[in-house]
C-alpha cells in the first residue's frame, strides 16, 4: 500500500471502532452487532485480502471465554459477555491501527514522493492485482468488481467509470461534480458494488469540494 492508502485503511477501521459505542447499547448479538461485525470483517478483507489472519483474529477476538450466545444463559451473563467480546474486538482493531501506523512510518522515507500508480496500467492484470499483498484497499475493491464482470462491453464501461471515480478520489481536492457521473453509473450497475465502494467515499469525503 501507499502512504495515503494506509491512511484510508486506518480511518476505515477507526470508523468501526467509533460505532462500538452505539452497538454496545443494543441487544447482545442482535442485528446491529451482526451488521457491525460483518461490515468490519469486509473492511479487513479489503485491507488485507480474503481469508487473512487479520480477519480470523478479529472474528475470534473475545470468543475464548464467552459462551453466552446460547439462550440458556441469563440476560445479565449474556450482556456481560457481549460487552467483553466488543471490548476485545475493539482492542484487536486498535492493534491493527497501530500496525498500519508503524507501516506508515517505516514507508515514509521511501515513498514520501511517490504517487498513486496509473489506473489505466494498474488494472490490466486483475488476477495479479487481486493476488498482490501491496495493493491498496480501494484498488482491491475496484479489481474485485471488475473481475466479476463477464461481458466485455460492460467490463469496458465499468472500467472507464470506476477508474474515473478512483482518479477523482485520489486527487488533493476531489470534485463532487466530476464524481457524480461515475457514482450514478455505479448505483445503477449494482447495489452490492456501490456499497463496496461507499466506505472509501466516506473516508475521502473530507476532501471533496463543490
Q: Do 178 and 198 lie in a common domain? A: yes
Q: What is the full DSSP assignment across 33-95?
A: HHHHHHHHHHHHHHHH-TT-HHHHHHHHTT-TT--TTSTTS-HHHHHHHHHHHHHHHHHHHHH
Model pLDDT, residue 45: 82
Q: Report d(CA 8, CA 75) in Å as an integer.
A: 38
Q: Do 149 and 202 lie in a common domain? A: yes
Return mean pLDDT, the chain: 80
Q: Do 143 and 60 lie in a common domain? A: no
State which of 88, 111, 134 marks the end of a domain: 111
Q: Do 60 and 132 lie in a common domain? A: no
Model pLDDT, residue 7: 76
Q: Do 145 and 77 lie in a common domain? A: no
Task: State yes or no: pLDDT of 94 exceeds 50.
Answer: yes
Model pLDDT, residue 161: 93
Q: Which residues contact 16 (CB under 8 A, 6 or more apart)?
A: 36, 39, 40, 43, 93
Q: Structural domain tally of the chain?
A: 2
State which of 111, 146, 168 marks the end of a domain: 111
Model pLDDT, residue 113: 41
Task: State yes or no: pLDDT of 13 exceeds 50.
Answer: yes
Domain span including residue 96: 3-111
Q: Do 88 and 166 lie in a common domain? A: no
Ranking 82-91, 103-112, 119-128 by mean pLDDT, the lowest is 103-112
Model pLDDT, residue 37: 92
Q: Do 61 and 145 lie in a common domain? A: no
Task: State yes or no: pLDDT of 10 exceeds 90.
Answer: no
Task: State yes or no: pLDDT of 66 exceeds 70.
Answer: no
Q: Taking residues 104-120, what's their average pLDDT?
A: 56
Ranking 29-33, 48-52, 82-86, 94-98 by mean pLDDT, the lowest is 48-52
Residue with cell 480477519: 55
Amino acid at each position: 500500500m501507499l502512504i495515503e492508502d494506509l491512511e484510508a485503511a486506518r480511518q476505515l477501521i477507526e470508523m468501526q471502532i467509533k460505532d462500538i459505542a452505539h452497538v454496545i447499547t443494543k441487544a447482545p448479538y442482535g442485528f446491529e452487532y451482526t451488521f457491525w461485525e460483518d461490515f468490519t470483517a469486509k473492511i479487513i478483507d479489503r485491507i488485507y485480502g480474503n481469508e487473512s489472519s487479520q480477519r480470523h483474529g478479529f472474528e475470534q477476538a473475545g470468543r475464548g471465554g464467552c459462551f453466552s450466545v446460547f439462550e440458556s444463559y441469563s440476560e445479565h451473563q449474556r450482556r456481560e459477555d457481549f460487552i467483553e467480546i466488543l471490548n476485545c474486538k475493539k482492542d484487536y482493531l486498535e492493534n491493527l491501527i497501530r500496525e498500519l501506523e508503524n507501516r506508515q512510518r517505516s514507508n515514509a522515507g521511501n515513498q514520501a514522493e511517490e504517487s498513486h500508480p496509473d489506473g489505466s496500467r494498474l488494472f490490466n492484470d486483475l488476477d495479479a492485482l487481486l493476488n498482490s499483498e501491496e495493493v491498496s484497499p480501494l484498488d482491491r475493491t475496484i479489481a474485485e468488481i471488475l473481475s466479476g464482470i463477464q461481458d466485455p462491453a460492460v467490463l469496458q464501461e465499468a472500467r472507464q467509470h470506476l477508474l474515473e471515480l478512483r482518479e477523482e478520489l485520489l486527487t488533493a481536492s476531489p470534485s463532487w461534480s466530476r464524481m457524480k457521473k461515475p457514482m450514478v453509473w455505479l448505483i445503477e450497475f449494482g447495489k452490492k458494488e456501490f456499497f463496496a465502494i461507499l466506505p472509501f467515499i466516506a473516508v475521502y469525503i473530507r476532501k471533496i469540494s463543490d
